[in-house]
Amino acid sequence: MLLGIASTFAHALELPQLTGRVVDEAGIISPEAKTKLESKLAAHEDLTSNQLVVATVRSLQGTSIEDYANQLFRAWKLGQAKTNNGVLLLVAPNERKVRIEVGYGLEGTLTDALSKVIITAAIAPKFKAGDFAGGIEAGTDAVIGTLAGDTEWQERAKVREESDAGSYQDMIVPLIVIAFILVFFMMSARRAAQQGGTRTYHRTRNGRWIIVPGPTWGGGGGGWSGGGSGDWGGGAMSLITDDERRQIAEAIRAAEATTSGEIVCVVMRAASDYRSVPLLWAALLALAWPWPLIAWTSLSAHTIHVTQLVVFALLAIVLSFSAWRFRLVPRPVKRRRARQAAREQFFAQGLRRTKERSGVLIFVAEAEHYAEILVDDGIAAKVDNDAWREALACLADGLREGRPAAGMTGAIALCAPLLANHFPRSATDTNELPDKVVVI
């Protein structure tokens, strides 16, 4: 007969007394439900000798439900002494905790996996609906059925274990993809840092060449002004050959023979690598990817999430190839970056350091189809910007026709008299900068 005297004290916890097969300290079980439960538990014990007790408590007294259940199980000495076949179903409604504590003799039948499934599938749903008595009864029936050999809960536990194992395996793909994305971002950020800053550019209106004054450089060092800029349109320009480089260098020497000014030509393959653009497009398309899948398929949220990550990774890789990358960059972005690159090259090539501030930069960005002529403030103060229009038009025509060397040599020849008129060459003049075209 299961009506023993419980232990009086265990690890400072005030444990309830064992007064029957159902101990409802929390007061959540109606008298009718309690009587029904006790009948089921008594019948099971008479049939199997397994001692199953249901207990509800007002508080766990600051300890975990695992520790409380273990101490209560030991204090009540549940199960037969020789077989240790006791089971405790403990409910702490105020802490929203449930525990099935099992004696050693029944652990092979009522496993931890089975106990978790019973709590999740049988007890918790009714508790969430506010039906504590119904949840306890459903849990009791599931425990009794499992101990009696019912295979339903064993099958549920097997499915749960397989599902948990599959979930861990499924996480491998997203983790690999996320790691790849992080590495990709870090490499892109490193490249951007090595470039030394953001680049921007400019354009023309309605295909006409517009002479645009450059910005003023503050800080007491004087200002500098641009001669003009424009987009030449048409197809891509092939980078100049060695013979064309020599032609341009000879044109620079011929021009500087009449002036103390300095002329430098710079041709850039691209003003920027635009590494962030593919990532932006990949992110936007990946964000849109789930919508058709949600609308037209029954795929799980996990599967959609994995495919979304895969789509982002694949697009980020494919769109990073230069053939695609430059097509995805908006034209205003290309022009801003090319324009800023021209100003950076003006300083990088030493044109700001000429003695009379009479440097002239003829700049071309191939990928952006951008051309610009920049002049230092010494010459800008004496030559109006409109005077550079013809030189810029000549440069643009050569680029548009696929004859970059002709365009540059023509522009140099037109710049020479503008410099010679205001900065004529004297016997003491020295060549301050190399006479060559710089290809970057």
Asked if 264 contacts 360 with a C-beta cutoff of 8 angstroms, the reply is yes
User: Is residue 301 packed enough to be buried (19+ CB in 10 Å), middle (13-18) or exposed (0-12)?
Assistant: exposed
- The string of DSSP letters for 287-334 reads HHTHHHHHHH----HHHHHHHHHHHHHHHHHHTTSHHHHHHHS-HHHH
Domains 22-167 and 202-273+331-439 share a fold: yes
Q: Which pLDDT score, from 0 to 100, does residue 108 have?
A: 87
- The string of DSSP letters for 126-148 reads HHHTT-HHHHHHHHHHHHHHHHT
User: Is residue 164 packed enough to be buried (19+ CB in 10 Å), middle (13-18) or exposed (0-12)?
Assistant: exposed
Asked if 201 contacts 368 with a C-beta cutoff of 8 angstroms, the reply is yes
Listed residue (414, 346, 412) closest to 377, CA to CA:
346
CA distance 59 to 90: 11
CA distance 105 to 210: 93
User: Is residue 208 packed enough to be buried (19+ CB in 10 Å), middle (13-18) or exposed (0-12)?
Assistant: exposed
Break the chain down into helix, strand, coil percent, rounded to 5. 50, 15, 35
CA distance 88 to 241: 88
The structure tokens listed for 223 are: 């200002």
Chain segment 207-216, per-residue pLDDT in tens: 333 333 333 2
Task: Give me the CATH code for the 202-273+331-439 domain, please.
Answer: 3.10.310.50
Asked if 34 contacts 24 with a C-beta cutoff of 8 angstroms, the reply is yes
Residues with pLDDT less than 70, the chain = 1-11, 151-239
Region of residue 436 (phi > 0: left; psi between -120 and 50: alpha; otherwise: beta): beta
Chain segment 295-319, per-residue pLDDT in tens: 787 777 778 878 888 888 888 888 7
Strands (E), 150-297: 200-201, 224-231, 262-268
Domain boundaries, the chain: 22-167, 202-273+331-439
CATH 3.10.310.50 fits domain 22-167: yes
Q: Which pLDDT score, from 0 to 100, does residue 184 have?
A: 59
Q: Which pLDDT score, from 0 to 100, does residue 156 have?
A: 54
Those residues with Cβ within 8 angstroms of residue 52's Cβ, 6 or more apart along the chain or in another chain? 21, 41, 44, 45, 86, 87, 88, 89, 140, 143, 144, 147
The structure tokens listed for 335 are: 């022009």
Q: Is 239 helix (H, G, I), strand (E, B) or coil?
A: coil
